C-alpha cells in the first residue's frame, strides 16, 4: 500500500490535533492535558481507554474482527522539553520554557491517526494496544509503565515505535535489524584531596590536578581499551571545584555521560572507569569515588519484526526508500526497555523537505513536519493489518 487513502484524507484533521499539542507542550510526567486530549479522542472512536498509568500514560484497547487472540502494542511518546521555542510559528508553544522540540506531538498524533483509522475499519484479527507514554525525555516513562504492569494488563505479542528524523529526507525510513540507538549512562566522580594555600601546593593534595588527569585518562579508555570496531563515548560535561584564585580546594566534582551500543562494551567501560578513577587518584594520594548510573539500555530491534516494518515502509514509501544500513546513533530512547521484554522494532522516518523539517531535534528552531503524519499513521495501521492479518 502507498499512503493509505483514508489516512491521507485525515491529514488536515491530524494537523489540527498536532498543532494543538504543539501549542500546549507539557514536561515529563506532567502530560495531563495531552493525556486528556488523547483519551477524549480515543473514546470518541469507541476505543476502550485506560488512563493514569505512570501518572499520565494512556492505553487504548481496540479489538478487531476474528478470535485469533493475537495482540500488538504501538507506542508513542507525549512529553516535551524544558526549552524556549524560537520558531515564531503561529502555533508555537504558549507555555513559557516548554517546547515540543523532539516531535513527540507528531508521534502522538500519528498514533491517534492510526487509531481512528483502525477503529473505523477493524480490518484485523486480534487486539491492538495504543500505548501513549509519558516522560521519554530522561524519565524512562516506558519503563515506569512496564513497572506498573503495562504488559500484564495489556499483553502484547510484539511492540513497535518510531521517531521522526530531520537528518533524513521525508519519504525515507531508517530501519536496522539490530541496534538502532545507544545505552545512555551517567557518572559522577568526587575527588577528595587536601586544601591549602595555592602558593604551597606541596602542603596539600590538589583535587583539580587529579581531576584533570582523570578527565584525560577516561578518554584513553575509549582510545585504548575499547575495540576500535566497537563504539563508545565518554563525555565529561561538568567539572566543579574551588572558590578562590589563591586557594586549593578540598574537593572536585566531575560528571558526564557514557554511550555504548554493545552490552559487553558497556560493562568494560564501567569497570575500567572505576579502576582508572581510583588508581589515578591513588597515584597522587587523593581519593576518588565513581558513581556510575545505568540509564536507558541500547535500543535493539528484533530482526524479524524489523524486516516486517521495512516491508510495510517499502509499501508506503517505495522500494529503495527504506535504508537498512544506516549506522546507529549514540543518542538513546526508552522504547529500548519495551524491546528488552517484547519482540518488536523501532524505526526512524525522515522528515526533511526543502527548508521544512530540517532543524535538528532538541533545538529551539525545531518543528515536526506535518507531511509526515499520514506516513507514520499508515505505518502503524499497516503493521497492524499485516501482523494481525485476518485469516
Taking CB under 5 A as the binding criterion, the range among 100-108, 171-179, 234-242, 249-257 that sits at the site for Ni ion is: 100-108
Alpha-helix residue ranges (DSSP H) falling in the chain: 5-9, 11-23, 32-44, 104-121, 141-147, 150-153, 207-220, 263-282, 303-317, 335-341, 373-387
Pairing of strands 159-169, 71-77: parallel
Q: With respect to Ni ion, which residue has the nearer C-beta, 248 or 352? A: 352
Smallest CA-to-CA distance from 273 within 307, 236, 244 is with 236
CB of 102 to Ni ion, least distance (A): 3
Distance CA 380, CA 296 (A): 24
Q: What is the DSSP string of 22-33?
A: HHS---TT--HH
Q: Residue count at the site for Ni ion (CB under 5 A)? A: 1
Q: With respect to Ni ion, which residue has the nearer C-beta, 7 or 135? A: 135
CB of 25 to Ni ion, least distance (A): 13
Taking CB under 5 A as the binding criterion, the range among 94-102, 217-225, 285-293, 367-375 that sits at the site for Ni ion is: 94-102
CB of 181 to Ni ion, least distance (A): 10
CB of 321 to Ni ion, least distance (A): 22
Sole binder of Ni ion in the list 102, 175, 265, 332 (CB under 5 A): 102
237: buried, middle or exposed (CB in 10 Å: 19+, 13-18, 0-12)? exposed
Distance CA 120, CA 272 (A): 56
Residues 241-300 that bind Ni ion (CB under 5 A): none
Taken in order 137, 337, 328, 316, the sign of the CA dihedral is negative
Q: What is the DSSP string of 66-129?
A: S----EEEEEEE---BS-------TT---STT-B--SSHHHHHHHHHHHHHHHHHH--SSSEEE
Site string for Ni ion, 49-88 (x = CB under 5 A): ----------------------------------------
182 touches Ni ion (CB under 5 A): no
Q: With respect to Ni ion, which residue has the nearer C-beta, 165 or 385? A: 165
The DSSP 8-state label assigned to residue 283 in this structure reads T
Distance CA 100, CA 81 (A): 6
CB of 112 to Ni ion, least distance (A): 17
CB of 52 to Ni ion, least distance (A): 23
Kindly list the strands in the beta sheet with 173-174, ordered across the sheet, starting from the edge strand earlier in the chain. 48-53, 57-63, 127-133, 71-77, 159-169, 344-352, 173-174, 322-323
CB of 382 to Ni ion, least distance (A): 22
Q: With respect to Ni ion, which residue has the nearer C-beta, 205 or 330? A: 330
CB of 370 to Ni ion, least distance (A): 17
Residues 122-181 that bind Ni ion (CB under 5 A): none
Q: With respect to Ni ion, which residue has the nearer C-beta, 165 or 206? A: 165
Taking CB under 5 A as the binding criterion, the range among 85-93, 102-110, 125-133, 167-175 that sits at the site for Ni ion is: 102-110
Smallest CA-to-CA distance from 311 within 173, 179, 178, 181 is with 173
Residues 14-33 that bind Ni ion (CB under 5 A): none
Taking CB under 5 A as the binding criterion, the range among 62-70, 95-103, 114-122, 170-178 that sits at the site for Ni ion is: 95-103
Radius of gyration of the chain (CA): 24
Q: With respect to Ni ion, which residue has the nearer C-beta, 102 or 234? A: 102
Q: With respect to Ni ion, which residue has the nearer C-beta, 191 or 338? A: 338
First CA to last CA distance, the chain: 19
Q: With respect to Ni ion, which residue has the nearer C-beta, 102 or 181? A: 102
Q: With respect to Ni ion, which residue has the nearer C-beta, 100 or 342? A: 100
Q: How far is CA 171 from the centre of its chain?
A: 21
Q: With respect to Ni ion, which residue has the nearer C-beta, 41 or 329? A: 329
CB of 164 to Ni ion, least distance (A): 8
- Name the residue with the smallest CB distance to Ni ion: 102
CB of 47 to Ni ion, least distance (A): 24
Which residues would be at the binding site for Ni ion (CB under 5 A)? 102
Amino acid at each position: 500500500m502507498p499512503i493509505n487513502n483514508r489516512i491521507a484524507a485525515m491529514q488536515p484533521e491530524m494537523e489540527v490535533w498536532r498543532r494543538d499539542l504543539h501549542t500546549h507542550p507539557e514536561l515529563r510526567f506532567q502530560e495531563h492535558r495531552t493525556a486528556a486530549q488523547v483519551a477524549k479522542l480515543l473514546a470518541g472512536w469507541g476505543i476502550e481507554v485506560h488512563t493514569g498509568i505512570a501518572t499520565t500514560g494512556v492505553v487504548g484497547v481496540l479489538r478487531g474482527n476474528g478470535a485469533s487472540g493475537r495482540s500488538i502494542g504501538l507506542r508513542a511518546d507525549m512529553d516535551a522539553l524544558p526549552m524556549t521555542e524560537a520558531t515564531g510559528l503561529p502555533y508555537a508553544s504558549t507555555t513559557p520554557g516548554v517546547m515540543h522540540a523532539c516531535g513527540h506531538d507528531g508521534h502522538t498524533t500519528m498514533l491517534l491517526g492510526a487509531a481512528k483509522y483502525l477503529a473505523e475499519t477493524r480490518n484485523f484479527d486480534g487486539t491492538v494496544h495504543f500505548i501513549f507514554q509519558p516522560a521519554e525525555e530522561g524519565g524512562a516513562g516506558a519503563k515506569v509503565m512496564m513497572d506498573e504492569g503495562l504488559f500484564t494488563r495489556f499483553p502484547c505479542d510484539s511492540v513497535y515505535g518510531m521517531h521522526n528524523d530531520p537528518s533524513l529526507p521525508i519519504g525515507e525510513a531508517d530501519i536496522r535489524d539490530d541496534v538502532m540507538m545507544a545505552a545512555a549512562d551517567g557518572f559522577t566522580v568526587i575527588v577528595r584531596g587536601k586544601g591549602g594555600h595555592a602558593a604551597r601546593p606541596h602542603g596539600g593534595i590538589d583535587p583539580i590536578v587529579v581531576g584533570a588527569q582523570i578527565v584525560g585518562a577516561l578518554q584513553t579508555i575509549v582510545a585504548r581499551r575499547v575495540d576500535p570496531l566497537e563504539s563508545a563515548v565518554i563525555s565529561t560535561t561538568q567539572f566543579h571545584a574551588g572558590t578562590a584564585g589563591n586557594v586549593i580546594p578540598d574537593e572536585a566534582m566531575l560528571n558526564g555521560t557514557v554511550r555504548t551500543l554493545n552490552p559487553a562494551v558497556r560493562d568494560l567501560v564501567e569497570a575500567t572507569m572505576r579502576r582508572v578513577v581510583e588508581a589515578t587518584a591513588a597515584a597522587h594520594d587523593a581519593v576518588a569515588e565513581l558513581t556510575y548510573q545505568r540509564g536507558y539500555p541500547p535500543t535493539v530491534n528484533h530482526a524479524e519484526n524489523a524486516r516486517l516494518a521495512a516491508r510495510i515502509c517499502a509499501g508506503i514509501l517505495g522500494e529503495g526508500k527504506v535504508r537498512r544500513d544506516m549506522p546507529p546513533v549514540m543518542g538513546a530512547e526508552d522504547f529500548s526497555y519495551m524491546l528488552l521484554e517484547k519482540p518488536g522494532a523501532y524505526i526512524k522516518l525522515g522528515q526533511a523537505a526543502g527548508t521544512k523539517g530540517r532543524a535538528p531535534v532538541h533545538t529551539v528552531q525545531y518543528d515536526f513536519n506535518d507531511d509526515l503524519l499520514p506516513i507514520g499513521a499508515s505505518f502503524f495501521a499497516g503493521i497492524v493489518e499485516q501482523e494481525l492479518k485476518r485469516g
